[in-house]
Structure 1
Amino acid sequence: MSLDDKATKPHDRLAQALAEDMAAVNALIRERMSSEHAPRIPEVTAHLIEAGGKRLRPMLTLAAARLVGYGGPFHVHLAATVEFIHTATLLHDDVVDESRQRRGRPTANLLWDNKSSVLVGDYLFARSFQLMTDTGNMRVMEILANASAVIAEGEVLQLTAAQNLATTEDIYLRVIRGKTAALFSAATEVGGIIGGAPEDQVQALFDYGDALGIAFQIVDDLLDYGGKSAEIGKNTGDDFRERKLTMPVIKAVALADEAERAFWKRVIEKGDQQDGDLEHAMALMTKHGTLEATRLAAIGWTDTARKALAKLPDHPLRQMLDDLADYVVERVR
Structure 2
Amino acid sequence: MVSLGLGSHPLHRPHLSGCWETCEIEASGLLRLVGWTREELVVPELVVNGARIPLLNQYRTYRPDVARQTQVPFSGITFEYQLPYGVTLTEISLSLGGDRLWQAQGSLTLTAPAYEGLLSCETVLGRQQIYGEGLPSPVVSEVVMALVAPLPGPILDFGCGMGALLGALRGGDRAAYGIEIDRPAIREQLRPDVAEYVTLYDGSFPLPYDDGQFASVVSIEVIEHIPNYRQVLEELARVSREQAVFTVPNIDAIPLCFPQQVVPWHLLEATHVNFFNPSSFQKLLLEYFCEVELLQIHPVSVNGTRFHTSVAAICRK
What TM-score, normalized by structure 1, do the two folds share? 0.28
Greater relative CO (CA pairs within 8 A, separation 6+): 1
What TM-score, normalized by structure 2, do the two folds share? 0.29
Greater helix fraction, Structure 1 or Structure 2: 1
Greater strand fraction, Structure 1 or Structure 2: 2
